Amino acid sequence: METIKGLKRTNYCGELRLSDAGKEVTLFGWCQRQRDLGNLIFIDLRDRTGIVQLSFNDATDREVFAKAQSVRAEYVVALVGTVCERESKNKDLPTGDIEINVKEFRIISKAETPPFEIANSQKVGDETTLKYRYLNLRNQKLTQNILMRHKIAKIAREYFYANDFIEIETPMMIKSTPEGARDYVVPSRVHNGKFYALPQSPQIYKQLCMVAGFDRYIQLARCFRDEDLRADRQPEFTQIDLEMSFVDTDDILEMSEGFIAKLMKETIGVEISTPLPRMTFAEAMEKYGSDKPDTRFDMLINDITEWADGTDFVVFKNAIEAGGSVKAIVAKNAATTYTRKKIDKLTEHAKGIGAKGLAYIRWADEEPNCSFAKFLKDGELESLINKLGAEKGDCVFIVSDKTSLALSVMGALRLVIAKELDIIPEGKWNYLWITEMPFFEQDEETGEWVAMHHPFTMPMEECIEYLDTDKGKVRAKAFDLVLNGTELSSGSMRITDCQLQNKMFELLGMSQEEIDAKFGFLVEAYHYASPPHGGMGIGLDRLAMLICGADSLRDVTAFPKVQNASELMSGAPSTIDDIQLDELGISIAKAEKENVQ
């Protein structure tokens, strides 16, 4: 193999244009494709910025021409050549107006035939591409996603540095404290039998930075949560983590909005108007059935409890008598799409997410077809249709149950129906703040009240009186940032009074001994005075996923985990040897294999 000795890169492949014609350049990269036409050879050379065409012809030095003939996919090559205007231009390629007439050519490294074609690697099954992730990342789409993620991180640092934030690294091995998910733990060799936890967030440490007086903290923080994975969740992730002192909620939201506006403009050229719209948690649930509503389309949830209570339909009556409600959505122009068979399928989906059934009105013909018409008195169906504003061609879907369940089911169905009707507009960026979150939520099985957020969240002042008497009335100074139905961030004002903080732990069922053991150092810190402060963490991964138009966090993560939290390329997690286990004082119970005769 040859070396690059004496060669210095002058340009990246994807940055050359027709204005560079006549310029001598030195390029390095990977061969994506070679086309040998006899007296002409073309090579598509790729690096992280894009692709440019190399040309070899009758005038090319014969030794150089012979090397070009021997090149195969994914060879690493170096070259010196002149930028020329192409005869046959490629409008689909940013460099499609030019090619490089090569005069010096070196093969730096040869490649075996890859297990898949790099250019089409996104079409290959996940298991194969993730096993050879270093090859998959050469795909231009994935390369650009990773570069976009880098750009987002760069803009974040620039913006917050310009606003006097200090980047402070917090520990990666910490004390295990409850934060809502299971911890990943690290055994200590020095302190046998004791464990560190990997941080689910830098929450306590960034609050202590405020106590210490740093007043504006920023960190691109790595976080770890041992929970079930899905398309928008990885066990390790990055958040743009910030905290501010001597502020209120509006200050934090305003600062974050400035970042979002700058980010959208500098990444994809989209102007975002600020201030961003706000919606209370209660309003979001009532209208959209979700605390992360997609507001790009209408189809809002209607409360028809009062109407339903006047009917003789026992399904509705039972739900209402049990303290529940009846909710409906109108799917405009859906009667053609939603045949009886399709409605049956939607009903099964509704049952799968907790509903007991799905009532409907399908108005495809002159008269609407109502699944519960025989239980209605004269005029009641017409009254409902008028109340909902339904018209010929529409479908109405109805769920009756406990209010929280009816809303969540309708919220989920709203998204399913919108996707099937293809009414979610592309190119819209609907950012939304969700405010006044409930402080507690009730566990349906045990009836116990648990914190909806981490236990350091400040209740709204007017709700503090209900902490002991009516937890359902307590709202938090908490806020989420939502984009097109995806939660991007969670934040809040923090408790800074040591007595109130201790009380919140007690209300969550913790004994004083447990409080002291798990959070004593934080409560003690507040004895030495703390400024009012709050903050939030913006999910860098999810932000990158949405800006790139990707379907999964895997597409914006260099080396992602799969559903069972394993990493296929390296084989993590893996076993460790007995010597390491002995040093850590750990023994692993191994199931005895039965002898099969």
**pLDDT tens, 312-342?**
999 999 999 999 999 999 999 999 999 999 9
C-alpha span between 586 and 428 (Å, rounded) = 53
Of 67, 139, 135, 58, nearest to 106 by C-alpha is 67
The set of residues, in sequence order, having a beta carbon less than 8 Å from that of 543 and lying 6+ positions away, is 152, 240, 263, 483, 488
Which amino acid would we find at residue 313? F
Provide the pLDDT for residue 446: 78
Mean per-residue pLDDT, 374-384: 95
Q: Which tokens hold the place of 304? A: 């028809």
The set of residues, in sequence order, having a beta carbon less than 8 Å from that of 414 and lying 6+ positions away, is 288, 289, 299, 301, 329
Of 595, 573, 581, 560, nearest to 126 by C-alpha is 560
Q: pLDDT tens for residues 234-270? A: 999 999 999 999 999 999 999 999 999 999 999 999 9
Provide the pLDDT for residue 215: 97
C-alpha span between 543 and 536 (Å, rounded) = 14
How many angstroms separate the Cα of 363 from the Cα of each of 122, 349, 380, 433?
42, 21, 16, 36
Of 587, 589, 588, 580, nearest to 189 by C-alpha is 580
Position 148 confidence tier, pLDDT thresholds 50, 70, 90? very high
Provide the pLDDT for residue 158: 98
C-alpha span between 68 and 88 (Å, rounded) = 20
> Are 26 and 104 in contact, with CB atoms under 8 Å apart?
no
> Does residue 379 come out as left (phi exceeding 0), alpha (psi in the -120 to 50 range) or beta?
left
Position 454 confidence tier, pLDDT thresholds 50, 70, 90? confident
Provide the pLDDT for residue 233: 87
Provide the pLDDT for residue 132: 96
C-alpha span between 137 and 116 (Å, rounded) = 12
- Residues β-bridged to residue 25: 81
Provide the pLDDT for residue 442: 79
pLDDT at 46 over 90: yes
Residue found by looking up tokens 């060879």 in the block? 75
Position 386 confidence tier, pLDDT thresholds 50, 70, 90? very high
> Are 584 and 192 in contact, with CB atoms under 8 Å apart?
yes
List of E strands, 516-584: 533-539
Provide the pLDDT for residue 78: 98
Which has the higher per-residue pLDDT, 26 or 439? Answer: 26
Of 304, 419, 287, nearest to 372 by C-alpha is 304
Provide the pLDDT for residue 179: 66
pLDDT at 443 over 80: no
pLDDT at 392 over 70: yes
Question: pTM (2 decimals)?
Answer: 0.92
Of 287, 310, 282, nearest to 300 by C-alpha is 287
pLDDT at 60 over 80: yes
Provide the pLDDT for residue 180: 67
Mean pLDDT for the chain overall: 93
Q: Which tokens hold the place of 496? A: 């800074």
Of 564, 586, 563, nearest to 575 by C-alpha is 586
How many angstroms separate the Cα of 380 from the Cα of each of 307, 372, 401, 438, 556?
8, 11, 21, 36, 52
CA atoms within 13 A on the CB side of 375: 14
C-alpha span between 567 and 547 (Å, rounded) = 25
Which amino acid would we find at residue 226? D
pLDDT at 596 over 70: no
What's the start-to-end Cα distance of the chain, in Å?
A: 56
Omega cis (within 30) before 115: no
Helices (H) and strands (E) in the chain, counts: 16, 22
> Are 421 and 440 in contact, with CB atoms under 8 Å apart?
no
Provide the pLDDT for residue 71: 97
pLDDT at 276 over 70: yes
Q: Is 45 helix (H, G, I), strand (E, B) or coil?
A: strand
Q: Which tokens hold the place of 511? A: 């004994």
Q: Which tokens hold the place of 132? A: 């050879």
C-alpha span between 479 and 284 (Å, rounded) = 12
The conformation of residue 251, written as its DSSP 8-state character, comes to H
Share of residues in the chain with pLDDT > 90 (%): 83
Q: Is 516 helix (H, G, I), strand (E, B) or coil?
A: helix
pLDDT at 588 over 90: no
pLDDT at 229 over 80: no
Of 489, 92, 11, nearest to 263 by C-alpha is 489
Provide the pLDDT for residue 41: 97
> Are 476 and 457 in contact, with CB atoms under 8 Å apart?
yes
C-alpha span between 185 and 520 (Å, rounded) = 21
Strands 50-56 and 98-109: parallel
Q: Which tokens hold the place of 584? A: 């850590």
The set of residues, in sequence order, having a beta carbon less than 8 Å from that of 93 and lying 6+ positions away, is 50, 51
Provide the pLDDT for residue 300: 97
Strands 431-435 and 41-47: unpaired
pLDDT at 122 over 70: yes
C-alpha span between 554 and 428 (Å, rounded) = 23
Q: Which tokens hold the place of 545? A: 């996923």
Residue found by looking up tokens 């949830």 in the block? 301
Q: Is 130 helix (H, G, I), strand (E, B) or coil?
A: helix
pLDDT at 590 over 80: no
C-alpha span between 348 and 293 (Å, rounded) = 23
pLDDT at 593 over 60: no
C-alpha span between 56 and 65 (Å, rounded) = 6
Q: Which tokens hold the place of 431? A: 């950012």
**Phi, psi for residue 182 in degrees, rounded to 5:** -75, 145
